[in-house]
Chain A
Amino acid sequence: MASHPTYARIALLGNPNTGKTTLFNQLTGARARVGNYPGVTVERRSGRMTVGGREAEVVDLPGTYSLTARSPEEQLAIEHVLGMHEAPPDLVVVVVDAGQLVRNFYLVIQLIELEVPLIVALNMLDEVADAPDHQAIGRLLGVPVVPIRAKTNRGLAALTEAIAVGLAKPSFGSVKVDYPEALEADAAAVVQALPEGWGQGKPKRELGLALWALGSVDEHDELRGITPELRAACIERQAVSGRDVDTESITARYRFLDAHVTPLVRARAPGTVPTTTERIDRVLLHPIWGFAVFIAIMLTVFQSLFSWASPAITRIESAVSWLGTNLTQHLPAGVLTDLLVEGVLGGVGNVIVFLPQILLLFLFIGVLEDSGYMARAAYLMDRIMRALGLHGRAFVPMLSGCACAIPAIMATRTMERHRDRLLTMLVIPLMTCSARLPVYTLVIGALFPPSRVFGIVPVQGLLMVFMYLFSTLMALLAAGVLGRTVVRGRRIPLLIELPPYRMPTWQSVVRQMSERATSFLKEAGTMILACTIVLWGLLSFPRHDAVTLRAAPPEMLATEDKRPRTEASETSVAPTVNVRSERLTHSYGAKLGRAIEPAIKPLGFDWKIGVGLIGAFAAREVFVSTMGLVYGIGDADQSSEPLREKMRAESKDGKPAYSPLTGLSLMLFFALACQCMSTLAVVKRETRSYRWPAFLFVYMTSLAWVTSFLVFQLGTKLGF
């Protein structure tokens, strides 16, 4: 362990939906540091606050109903609270929902049993008709209980004061749960098997840990750091006389809560929920209206990513190109300028161009989560999503994948379990993202006749619909196969809480948006930038003068080099295009394109398409402009008629080189191949490993190759 930090450490813990994160935001102000807990892909959010003239670090632990754990993700709470990987917190603040007092205090009991310095923040008092007597609860448990209202800052001063007191003079609380004698004997036996250092010589904590282990450890858990002795001891005691330690311990705790805490809650009768929520649910969970609203909300999310984001995207792109033009004009011509403009600036552009969609998606996710609707969406869709082998919460990420895989992959964070997240991440890139559309438009426009089926349905439109259906089908199929093979995991039964509807607070939503954006820029961004520069190098080197000289007639070279670079004139476009085109076709990238030709020839592609494929790795739509450059057409877009002409005119042995079959093969390849470095960068960031992006690339590209191969070879045999 590192030397003792001079600042105090505070951990925030509590059930989901208790307003814990809102409180965290209020306590720590504007900024949070987003890092990672050691060993798991769970984000660690921390911030700073000043308390009693002292700096303190506040860590916002993931919401949890209990400290018992089956997986490393769930284990994190107890590890953090006891300081198993870093210094233990000097104080644990448990946020408790006043409307769910008994259930929330279950967690408090577990914490008291572990002898943790504790204070309780009693939140959402305004939602309860009769506020519970917080002082009586405090007396009962021996810990300070501070009533707060996190949303409106109420009680925050008192809480800060209580934190200061708690740091100076910690209370550990005391509670006497009446466990069955046999269970106490089990715990006493397990205490003997606890690993060195766990209990720190505190008998109370040792007993608490033994109870924790009895409830968590067995043959099937996936926990970390459990010694064989401890596991053996737990299994042995669980097996004794076939008793049920789980029911015994949980029932004993609830018996205590029901006897002592329930009388303090002068609230409504059991079995009722707040009526506003009930009224809203009558519509939102209605067999017809419920789905109508669901579809409307999802269409709005999709529409926003697909089209509302595009003005911002266009603005970013034009700003980047304006900056590029200016830099080119004011800097001396040469490799360094090109590196700066096309590599670095282009790379930065490639990164920030994702921001509008990321911000929009997390705006929606924030509102849907905080309002309580996301749990309802999972409830409504569970039947369908389960049949597809996906988590109920995978719907929003999958749908977002139809606009762009980058924000969609980031949105998988709404799923708690690593396995569910991973599976969703691995199939999202198969959905038809908007970057594939320019490629499809170009190929369909160039290689398919504008004829109609049965005289009414246009072939070109039909192909587009087919591509959408095909990719969705392939994504679901991949989910089925991968979920049973590569990311196989125990099937975890559905268990979700449908929390009362609440008004989302804009602070939390905006904060989440900015945190997501920042972490994308910092972590995925650097990788995308690096890849852009490498790709730029690949497609612009070697740059022998010979190439340039041969490419451009002398008078053009003269204009290139001697003309003062002040005017961004149209006259300069033509020579630049020629030079760029010539450079590209002589680049390492083109050599690579030629080198891979034998591999892509069976798919019906030639080296020119090969170069396009390599260029498209920056982003799929770049295929269009790369093909444009291969054919010496500057700034070609998907509806560029000259480019279409060139592709149609391309001939081999007197016949058109690119037939409609080639087009289909090419589109299928684009539908399935992982032609997107940003996707790989963001998967790397989310899984914290190179293994999964590598797997993603290999599986998608193999799938693409095999599919295109089969289609092209079969089609050729059939005479298309």
Chain B
Amino acid sequence: MSPTNPISRDSLRRCVSAPTGTTSEAPQPFALADAPLGQAFVVVEVGGERGFRRRLMELGLVPGTEVTVKKVAPLGDPLELVTRGCSLSIRTSEARAVRIIARV
């Protein structure tokens, strides 16, 4: 998925609510907090407290953008994300509200 063609919210809803089986081959969105390190994924939805999710999106983490969890801090939290060539750090609790999907 290129960043110029973001996934719409509708397609996301379909993705989430589709009963497994009918779209078993379609990749399922999951939480950024569970992403394996060093692998690039595509953002489908940014959730969380309004001010926070707004800031996160304004920093470029909008649906359709690639994101990689690069590192976990030595004490287990926070995470280091790389998106659009920029390193950001957020906590695992907030990363649970960011949904991602495998690159197609």
* A residues in contact (CB < 8 Å) with B: 65-66, 68, 70, 99-100, 102-103, 106, 215, 218, 220, 244, 246-247, 250-251, 254-255, 258-259, 262, 267-268, 270-273, 277, 281, 285-287, 290-291, 375, 379-380, 382-384, 386, 492-499
Contacts and interface: CB of A to CB of B under 8 A. Distances in A.
A498 B82 CA distance: 10
23 contacts: A65-B55, A68-B58, A100-B85, A100-B86, A106-B60, A244-B9, A246-B50, A246-B54, A247-B9, A251-B62, A255-B4, A268-B85, A271-B40, A272-B82, A285-B71, A379-B73, A379-B78, A380-B73, A380-B74, A382-B73, A382-B78, A383-B73, A383-B75
Interface residues of B, number: 45
Main secondary structure of the interface of B (DSSP, over half): mixed
B88 interface: yes
B63 A70 contact: no
Given A100-B86, A103-B59, A254-B60, A285 B74 contact: yes
A255 B66 CA distance: 14
Given A250-B54, A270-B3, A493 B90 contact: yes
A494 B78 contact: yes
Contact of B77 (A271, A383, A498): A383
B89 A495 contact: yes
A277 B4 CA distance: 28
A384 B87 CA distance: 21
A233 to B, nearest CB: 17
Contacts of B94: 493-495
Contacts of B6: 251, 255
Q: Which 10 A-B pairs have the closest CB atoms?
A: A383-B75, A287-B74, A498-B87, A70-B51, A250-B57, A66-B58, A493-B52, A493-B94, A258-B4, A251-B62
Given A218-B50, A383-B76, A273 B55 contact: no
B1 to A, nearest CB: 12
Given A281-B71, A383-B76, A383-B78, 7 more contacts: A70-B51, A259-B4, A272-B82, A384-B75, A493-B48, A495-B52, A495-B88
A497 B89 CA distance: 6
A384 B6 CA distance: 37
A126 to B, nearest CB: 16
B68 to A, nearest CB: 6
Contacts of A499: 87
Given A270-B85, A273-B82, A495 B4 contact: no
Contacts of B49: 493
B88 A492 contact: no
A498 B4 CA distance: 25
Contacts of A220: 50
A615 B4 CA distance: 69
A284 B80 CA distance: 13
A258 B94 CA distance: 26
A371 B91 CA distance: 23
A130 to B, nearest CB: 13
B23 interface: no
A103 B50 contact: no
B20 interface: no
A262 B2 CA distance: 12
A498 B90 CA distance: 11
A270 B67 CA distance: 9
A103 B65 CA distance: 12
